[in-house]
Amino acid sequence: MILSTLIFLPIVFALILTAWPQKSTIRQLALGFSLLQFAVSILMLKDFDSGFAGLQFVEKFSWIERFGISYFVGIDGISVMLVMLTTFLMPIMILASWKSIDEKIKGFHIALFVLQSAMLGSFLAVDAILFYVFWEMSLVPMYFIVGVWGGARKIYATVKFFIYTMAGSVLMLLAIIFMMRLTPEVTGGNISASLLDFYKLKIPFVAGEFFTAQTLLFFAFALAFAIKVPLFPLHTWLPDAHVEAPTPGSVVLAGVMLKMGTYCYLRWVLPLFPEASAHYAWLFIALGVIGIIYGALVAMIQPDVKKLVAYSSVSHMGYIIIGIFVMNSFGVSGALYQMLNHGISTGALFLLIGMIYERTHSREISKYGGLAKAMPWYTIAFVIVTMSSIAVPMTNGFIGEFLILLGSYKYNPWIACVSVSGVVLGAAYMLWMVKKVFFGPAGEIVSHAAVDKEHALHDLSAREIAVLVPMLVLIFWMGLFPNHFMDYSKKSIDHLIANQQNYSLELRAEVKMGDK
């Protein structure tokens, strides 16, 4: 029952917080709960068999028998590290919000735990309807996190985020219902919502004809996931959501929620629609390349440091899409690793931006300058995370982007040549931002702080160091010893790539029931 424990323990925590009478200890209690949840995920990882390609710790029982809907969860190498990332970031987000969230504290932490439960359920669900419930469930707490604790334009950003995601979800639900109606062909007459039964379907595909079943279903799922990624040109909700969200909201959005979209391409789109995925791969690769360059160019002209990092996310997610759709082991391995890297590096950038915003209440790049002298330890941390973001060797970002470029070169050398321009542009806008904020003549904020002792800029506190140290350790650990993380996914990725055409039959045979 380890997976059910991971999914529903945060709901239990949320219920306890709801009834907790002492508001003064809510933060401490929430932090303790999040650390307990992370400990449970470590126990799961300890028993995870990295040499096994199929689903592990499977739990299944009938839920709505009439429609073939079941509570069906499992984990494999594609999802295991994303689960670990989700549980790892939660205590960091709670610790980071210690001073920045000072209103409706109980409601904020309840929303975080409900969101964590929904995200974990999305990564672990193997029943289509169960997955859809968790997928939609994640929207509600995120709606409140941005809408209640966000910035001045929080309602606009929240409604835009909600409408975009809901529009894609409706198409996905229709596609799921259609596929459920096809399942009696492979189950002996019974309707089923099991993803493993979906894998067995032989859905008609005709190259060049758009109005065939597999092509329409492919785009219904792919569009829903493209909005969540978000893939250019469906990205416009993301910068608004990032800018208006509180710091923990930006961290969870960049760190985990965007990965729900990219993960689902590997779990759902490629194995369910192998012919359509291969036929239309060029389209998604092209959109990924455009997203890389567009995101970088728009980031270069942003006056707001948080919006700059938001557009950098658009650029980085383009690499992940390319890695997925080149459909070779280098590309897919790099894409999955880059999902983790982006969660750590961009999450750390948003944490750092939140820390300086708490001191100055400004994110305008032009108002900074000379911050390195006032806050040297903060500067060191920011520069390290920036090196990770622009993929400097020995940091985690380098491994992921290198593998993606290697995979794309193997697919088509021109794609790699064009995509690598994003690395150069990324270095340009990130290093320009670092130069403007930390070095050179003192800006308005630093000058004012130097003469006004009440607004003096204090360097990192012990709490902030505790927030950043795990992120910085992972940046170098993942950069220097990538196999410590990639070994968990190698077998599942190799299995996905080698058996894309008959993935369903082999995966269905490779299922371990219950805990090991």
Whole-number percent of the chain with pLDDT over 70: 95
At residue 5, does pLDDT exceed 90?
yes
Task: Give pLDDT, residue 378.
Answer: 92
CB 228 within 8 A of CB 260: yes
CB 168 within 8 A of CB 221: no
User: Which residue carries 């192998």 as its tokens?
Assistant: 274
Task: Give pLDDT, residue 505.
Answer: 40
Task: List, as own/partner pairs, every contact residues 349-352 make where C-beta atoms lie below 8 angstroms and the sequence separation is at least 24, other chains included.
Answer: 349/309, 349/385, 349/386, 349/389, 350/242, 350/247, 350/250, 350/251, 350/254, 350/306, 350/309, 351/92, 351/96, 351/247, 351/251, 351/467, 351/468, 351/471, 352/378, 352/381, 352/382, 352/385, 352/468
How many whole angstroms separate alpha carbon 483 and alpha carbon 153?
A: 43
Task: Give pLDDT, residue 64.
Answer: 86
CB 382 within 8 A of CB 434: yes
Helix 128-137 and helix 105-124: axis angle, to 10°?
Answer: 160
* HEC per residue, 208-236: CCCCCHHHHHHHHHHHHHHHHCCCCCCCC
Mean pLDDT to the nearest integer, 274-293: 91
C-alpha pair distances (Å), 192 with each of 68, 121, 124, 143, 513: 4, 19, 18, 31, 19
Query: Measured in Å, how far apart are the chain's first and last C-alpha atoms?
Result: 10
Residues in the chain: 516
Task: Give pLDDT, residue 205.
Answer: 78
How many whole angstroms separate alpha carbon 465 and alpha carbon 512?
A: 41
Task: Give pLDDT, residue 502.
Answer: 52
Backbone angles phi, psi at 457, to 5 degrees: -90, 110
pLDDT grade for 277, boundaries at 50, 70 and 90: confident
How many whole angstroms separate alpha carbon 146 and alpha carbon 246?
A: 7
Segment 449-504, tens digit of pLDDT: 666 666 678 888 999 999 999 999 999 999 999 999 999 999 889 888 876 645 43
How many whole angstroms separate alpha carbon 254 and alpha carbon 119?
A: 13
- 335 or 456, greater pLDDT: 335
Ramachandran assignment for 313, one of left (phi > 0), alpha (psi -120 to 50 degrees), beta (any other): alpha
Task: Give pLDDT, residue 385.
Answer: 95
Mean pLDDT to the nearest integer, 344-350: 93
Q: What angle do CA 253, 309, 85 make, to 5 degrees?
A: 35
Task: Give pLDDT, residue 22.
Answer: 79
Mean of the per-residue pLDDT values of the chain: 88
At residue 349, does pLDDT exceed 60?
yes
How many whole angstroms separate alpha carbon 440 and alpha carbon 437?
A: 8
Helices and strands (DSSP H and E) totals, the chain: 27, 3
Ramachandran assignment for 457, one of left (phi > 0), alpha (psi -120 to 50 degrees), beta (any other): beta
Q: Is the dihedral of CA 388, 389, 392, 394 positive or negative?
A: positive
CB 322 within 8 A of CB 315: no
CB 375 within 8 A of CB 459: yes
Backbone angles phi, psi at 492, to 5 degrees: -65, -40
218: tokens are 């492919």
441 upstream amide cis, omega within 30 of 0: no
Mean pLDDT to the nearest integer, 385-390: 93
Segment 53-91, tens digit of pLDDT: 889 999 999 888 888 899 999 999 999 999 999 999 999
Task: Give pLDDT, residue 499.
Answer: 67
User: Which residue carries 């383009």 as its tokens?
Assistant: 318
- 224 or 24, greater pLDDT: 224
Segment 153-201, tens digit of pLDDT: 888 888 888 888 888 888 899 999 999 999 888 888 888 889 988 888 8
How many whole angstroms separate alpha carbon 496 and alpha carbon 514?
A: 23
Looking at residue 127, the DSSP 8-state letter turns out to be B
Whose CA is closest to 327, among 365, 369, 273, 375? Answer: 273
CB 325 within 8 A of CB 334: no
Segment 423-457, tens digit of pLDDT: 899 999 999 999 988 887 877 887 776 666 666 78
Element at 471 (helix H, strand E): helix 462-480
